[in-house]
């Protein structure tokens, strides 16, 4: 039967079930994955979506009929696949998830041995091409592998907790909103080892998403966490997306913390303990991270945004940490992969040691380097993105320092901006920052948006 492969993107497969993601696609992925990557042992997990078990069954059938053993870790977060593959020396891993997409979506994320990412350049397009091959005899079965059920939760939590000194953590009050996603069971287990008073919101895993899509980047998804912080007088709040590969923090006032400042806080958390290490950052907003890193004796290294680029550079540079303002945070000792569980623990350790409120730490950084946050403008396609970027470069490029590592960045003495097209959506994205001058940042932000949206 002909299949729809329009769900293949820059980093994964994702689409509406059962139109663009279904049993046939999952089965074929299972058949071709082992032959492409020489895999004999594959870890497979799934988030809380209702179609997850059905996709798992089809995927496992394809894998075992290719002679591959499947190690089922059950309902989990994406990073638990990274952990299993990296820690147990498996040949690869497949996570059944659509991350923060609405409930009717599902998909798959892939890694090979050592939890190295599979991107269009390292095999994703090959998977697509092979499952589209209608000349192949899909009824032929090479061999029969076995499905094993394994429990990795205890070992995974032990790994996560190794990033902080649990005995020195302060007894903070923390609101945690898991959005009815996969993080709930992990929070239930990890709180047993922590001194925090945890106030849980929407902690029951529920694939119907009864309280809305778990995506704290959406303004409408933030107010419940913020309101709970104020109601209970919490020291901070944490919210997760559906597969908890990202976490988002709120201060004690209930204010959302931009991902840019999170990168700076995490760089500080690592460099306080590990002076001289390298920190990976991306071009959208940079000055805060550079200053913190250099002041603590570290080396800042710029990298194009996108998980496969950052993971590769983490290995190449032997960097201890890498961060994106999209709330993806990468850790050398976590197989150079991103985790949503490690960051909030590190921030709360930093907060407890500082003796300050989180808003006070944040206000110091915002005052030094105010940012616009990422502002999206819908465009008609990649040609329009190129046209807008070309126009902006002609206007500003002659008097500023131009970089094209990721989209267009132009630096001036007291302000800078980055303009780039989205890899996954029809948007052009603008970020503006300034040195200690919020008014200048706002003026330049509005000036650029007017040109972009003409």
Contact between residue 2 and residue 32 where contact means Cβ atoms under 8 Å apart: no
Tell me phi and psi for residue 301, to 5 degrees.
-130, 120
Closest among 47, 48, 44, 118 to 81, alpha carbons compared: 44
Whether 99 is catalytic: yes
Tell me phi and psi for residue 259, to 5 degrees.
-60, -30
Contact between residue 232 and residue 259 where contact means Cβ atoms under 8 Å apart: no
Peptide bond into 18 cis (omega under 30): yes
Marked catalytic residue, from 60, 66, 99, 115:
99
Contact between residue 203 and residue 187 where contact means Cβ atoms under 8 Å apart: yes
Half-sphere exposure of residue 178: CA atoms within 13 angstroms, side-chain side = 25
Residue linked to tokens 């007088």 = 233
Distance CA 411, CA 392 (A): 13
Closest among 241, 274, 253 to 344, alpha carbons compared: 241
What secondary structure letter does DSSP report for 68?
-
Active-site residue numbers? 99
């Amino acid at each position: 039967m002909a299949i729809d492969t329009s769900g293949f993107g820059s980093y994964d497969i994702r689409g509406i079930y059962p139109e663009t993601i279904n049993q046939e696609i999952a089965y074929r992925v299972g058949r071709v994955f082992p032959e492409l990557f020489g895999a004999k042992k594959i870890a497979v997990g799934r988030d809380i979506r209702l179609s997850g078990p059905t996709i798992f069954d089809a995927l496992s059938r394809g894998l075992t009929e290719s002679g591959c053993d499947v190690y089922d870790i059950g309902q989990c977060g994406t990073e638990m696949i990274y952990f299993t593959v990296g820690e147990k020396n498996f040949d690869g891993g497949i996570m059944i998830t659509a991350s923060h997409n609405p409930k009717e979506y599902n998909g798959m994320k892939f890694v090979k041995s050592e939890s190295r990412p599979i991107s269009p350049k390292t095999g994703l397009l090959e998977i697509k091409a092979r499952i589209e091959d209608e000349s192949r005899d899909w009824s032929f079965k090479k061999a029969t592998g076995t499905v094993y059920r394994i429990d990795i939760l205890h070992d995974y939590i032990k790994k996560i907790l190794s990033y902080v000194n649990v005995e020195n953590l302060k007894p903070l009050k923390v609101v945690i909103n898991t959005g009815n996603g996969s993080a709930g069971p992990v929070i239930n287990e990890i709180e047993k080892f922590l001194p925090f008073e945890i106030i849980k919101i929407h902690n029951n895993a529920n694939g119907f998403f009864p309280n809305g899509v778990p995506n704290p980047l959406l303004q409408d998804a933030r107010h419940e966490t913020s309101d709970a912080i104020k109601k209970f007088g919490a020291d901070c709040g944490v919210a997760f997306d559906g597969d908890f590969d990202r976490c988002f923090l709120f201060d004690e006032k209930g204010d959302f913390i931009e991902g840019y400042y999170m990168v700076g806080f995490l760089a500080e958390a690592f460099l306080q303990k590990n002076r001289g290490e390298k920190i990976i950052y991306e071009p959208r907003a940079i000055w805060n991270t550079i200053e913190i890193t250099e002041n603590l004796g570290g080396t800042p290294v710029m990298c194009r945004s996108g998980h496969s680029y950052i993971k590769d550079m983490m290995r190449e540079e032997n960097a201890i940490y890498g961060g994106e303002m999209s709330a993806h945070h990468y850790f050398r000792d976590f197989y150079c992969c991103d985790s949503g569980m490690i960051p909030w623990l590190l921030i709360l350790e930093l907060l407890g040691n500082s003796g300050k409120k989180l808003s006070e730490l944040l206000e110091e950084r915002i005052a030094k380097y105010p940012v616009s946050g990422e502002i999206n403008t819908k465009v008609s396609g990649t040609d329009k993105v190129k046209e807008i970027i070309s126009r902006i470069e002609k206007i500003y490029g002659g008097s500023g320092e131009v970089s094209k590592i990721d989209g267009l960045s132009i630096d001036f003495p007291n302000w800078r901006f980055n303009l780039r097209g989205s890899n996954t959506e029809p948007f052009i994205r603008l970020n503006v920052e300034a040195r200690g001058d919020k008014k200048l940042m706002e003026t330049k932000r509005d000036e650029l948006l007017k040109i972009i949206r003409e």
